[in-house]
Amino acid sequence: MADKPTYEELEQRVKELEQQASKRKEAENQVKHQAEFLNLVLESLPHPFYVIDAFDYTIKVANSAAHMGPLSKGTTCYALTHRSDRPCGSEGHPCPLEKIKETKQPVTVEHLHYDKDGNPRNVEVHAYPIFDSEGNVSQMIESSLDVTDRKRAEEALKKARDELEKRVEERTSELVAANEQLRQEIEERKRAEEGLQYRAEFEKLVSAISTNFMNLSADEIDSGINHALKKIGEFAGVDRSYVFQFDDKGTKMDNTHEWCAKGIEPHIQRLEGLLVDGFPWATGKLKRLETLHIPRVADLLPEASHEKKEFQSKGVQSLVNVPMVSGGSLVGFLGFDSVRAEKSWAEEDMALLKTIGEIIVNTLERKRAEEEIRNLSRQLIGAMEDERRRVARDLHDEFGQAVTGLHFGIEALRNSLPVELKDQETRCDELIGMVEQLGDTVRDLSSELRPDMLDHLGLIPTLEWYIDDFAKRTQDFQIDFQALGVKKRPSSEIEIVLYRILQEGLNNITKHAKAKRVSVLLAYSHPKLILTIKDDGIGFEQTKGMLPFGAKKQGIGLLGMRERAASVGGAIDIRSSMGKGTVIRAELPVALKKAGG
C-alpha cells in the first residue's frame, strides 16, 4: 500500500494544478482572442473568403460577405457560389480546388458566382493550398474578388475598341479607296500631261518638217521626204514609214519613199507598179479619204483577207495609212508600219499625220511645178541659144561675106582710080578701114552671141579665149583663170550655161564692182562642176530684197544667171560685204538630168 501523500505534497500538487489551469485558461483566452481577431479580420474583408475541405468541398470557414445568415453545416462551395448540386469543372469554369490538388500551387480563375442577393457576378477566384503534416493538400483558401464592373468595363472597352477598329477599318478602306482614286487620277493626269507633251513635241516636229520643206530646192525634195519619214518614224516608235504615189490615171501606185528602222527589211525596190484595185478594201477606204487605222492586223475581217495576207507576209502587226489629197482627188498615201510590236494611234496623232501628208503633197506638187518650170525655162533658153547660134551663123556667113565683098569692091575701085585722083584714093582707104572695123565688130558680135569654138573645142578653151579677149577689150582689171579636175567635157547645155554665167559675171564686175583683180576658178567636185568668180571690188551689204552690185532691177542679167543655173538643176550663191568684194559661186551638174528625173 502506497504511502499517503503528505500535506505538503498535496499542497504542491494543488498549486501545480492551479498553475496548469491558469495556463490553460490563459491559452484558451489567447485562442479565443486569436479566433476573434481572425474572425474580425475575415469580417473586415469586403469580398467573400472561404476555407474549403479538399475532400468533400464543404466550407469550413466563411466570412459574412460570402453568405447571408448562418451557414449550414456541410454546405459545399459549389452549392453556395454556383447554386449547383455538383462541383464545377467545365472548360469555361475550371475548379480551382482540383487544379491546386493537381499542381499544389496557387491558382487564379474567373468564375460566375451568385451573390447574397442571388445576382450573378463575375468574380476572380484566388485559391491557395493548405497542406497537412504529410504535405498533402487538405484544405484550400479561396478569396473571390468581384470583377463584374471591371468585366463590364472590359467588355465596354472591347466593344469600343471593336467599334473603333471597325471605324478605323472603314476609314482605312475609305482612305485606301480615296488613295486609289487619287492614284488613278494622278496616273490619268500624268498620261494626259505626257499625251499633251507628246502632241506638243509632235506638232513641233511637224512645224520643223514644214519649215524645212519650204527651204528645199526641187532637187532636195526627195531626200527631204526621206528625212521627214525618218524623223516621224523614230519619234512615233514605228518600224517603217513610207509614201505611195498613184499614177495620173489612178490605176497604179509606186512606193516612192521609204524609211526603215535598224533591222527592218526595206520593200521599196519591189513595190512598183502595183495595181490599186489589187487592194480593194484598203484603197476603197483611202479613196473615200478615210484614214486606214489597223491596230491589230490579225483581227482584220474576211473582206480584208487579201490585205491581211499582204501585211502579214511583211511581218506587219499594226499600221496606219493617211490619204494624200490634191485638188480633192487621192494622189497617194502616207503610211507607218509596226513590225516588232502592236501599236494604236490616237485621233489627234492621226490628224497630225494628215497634216504631214498634206505637207508632202504640197511639196511634191511644188517639185512637179518647179520641174515643169525648169523644163520650160530649159526649152526657152535652148530656143534662145538656137536663135543666137542662127543669128551668129548668119552674121558670120551672110553678113561676113557681104562685108568681105564690100572690102574687095572698094579696094578694086581704089586700084582703078587714076593717079591724079588722090582725094578719092584717100577716101577709099578710109572706107576700107571702116569696112575692116565693121568686119571685126561683126565677128565680135557673132562670138558674143555664140562662139563656134564652144561647140568645136569645148568649155575650157572657150573660157580661156573669152577671158583673154575680155581683158584686152576692157583693160579695167586683171583676170586670173584656173581649171582643176575637169577631165571630161560636160554636156553642151551645161557648157553654154557656165559660159553665159561667166559673161554676165564679168559684165557686172565691169559695171559696178570697181575691181582691180578678178579670179575665175572652174573645178570638178563630184558630182558637180563649180564655177567661182571672185573680185576685190567695193562689194555691197547683203540685205533681204537688195540686189548685188547696186543693180536697180534684175533683168536678163542676174535673174538670167539664176534661171539658167536652175534650168539645168544647178544653183548660184552670191556672197558680198562692203569693201571686201564679191564671190559668185555656181554649182551645176556635169550632165543634164532627164525631165522629171
Per-residue pLDDT tens for 149-180? 888 888 888 888 888 888 888 888 888 899 99
Adjacent-strand bridge partners of 321: 292, 335
Torsion from C-alpha of 297, 299, 302, 304, nearest 10 degrees: -30
Cβ-contact 588, 565 below 8 angstroms: yes
Query: What stretch of H or E contains 330?
Result: strand 329-338
Confidence band of 585 (pLDDT split at 50, 70, 90): very high
Confidence band of 448 (pLDDT split at 50, 70, 90): low
CA 314 – CA 299 distance, rounded (Å): 16
CA 93 – CA 112 distance, rounded (Å): 8
In the prediction, which pLDDT does 246 show? Answer: 94
In the prediction, which pLDDT does 545 show? Answer: 43
Omega within 30 of 0 (cis) for the link into 527:
yes
DSSP 133-197: TTS-EEEEEEEEEE-HHHHHHHHHHHHHHHHHHHHHHHHHHHHHHHHHHHHHHHHHHHHHHHHHH
CA end-to-end span of the chain:
175
367 pLDDT exceeds 90? no
CA 275 – CA 260 distance, rounded (Å): 23
Q: List, in order, residues 6 or more apart from 87 with CB less than 8 Å away.
A: 57, 76, 77, 78, 95, 97, 98
**Grid coordinates belonging to 337:** 508600219
Per-residue pLDDT tens for 249-269? 889 999 999 999 999 999 998
Which position has the higher pLDDT, 7 or 576? 576
Q: List, in order, residues 6 or more apart from 51 with CB less than 8 Å away.
A: 59, 60, 61, 62, 130, 139, 140, 141, 142
SS3 for 315? coil
Burial of 547 from C-beta contacts in 10 A (0-12 / 13-18 / 19+): middle
Confidence band of 297 (pLDDT split at 50, 70, 90): very high
In the prediction, which pLDDT does 300 show? Answer: 92
Cβ-contact 364, 349 below 8 angstroms: no
Which position has the higher pLDDT, 475 or 363? 363
pTM of the model: 0.54
CA 276 – CA 301 distance, rounded (Å): 20
371 pLDDT exceeds 80? no
547 pLDDT exceeds 50? no
596 pLDDT exceeds 50? no
CA 461 – CA 459 distance, rounded (Å): 6
DSSP 359-375: HHHHHHHHHHHHHHHHH
Residues 368-381, mean pLDDT to the nearest whole number: 75
Q: Which of 253, 243, 252, 323 is nearest to 289 (CA)?
A: 323
Confidence band of 546 (pLDDT split at 50, 70, 90): very low
Burial of 366 from C-beta contacts in 10 A (0-12 / 13-18 / 19+): middle
Residues 67-74, mean pLDDT to the nearest whole number: 75
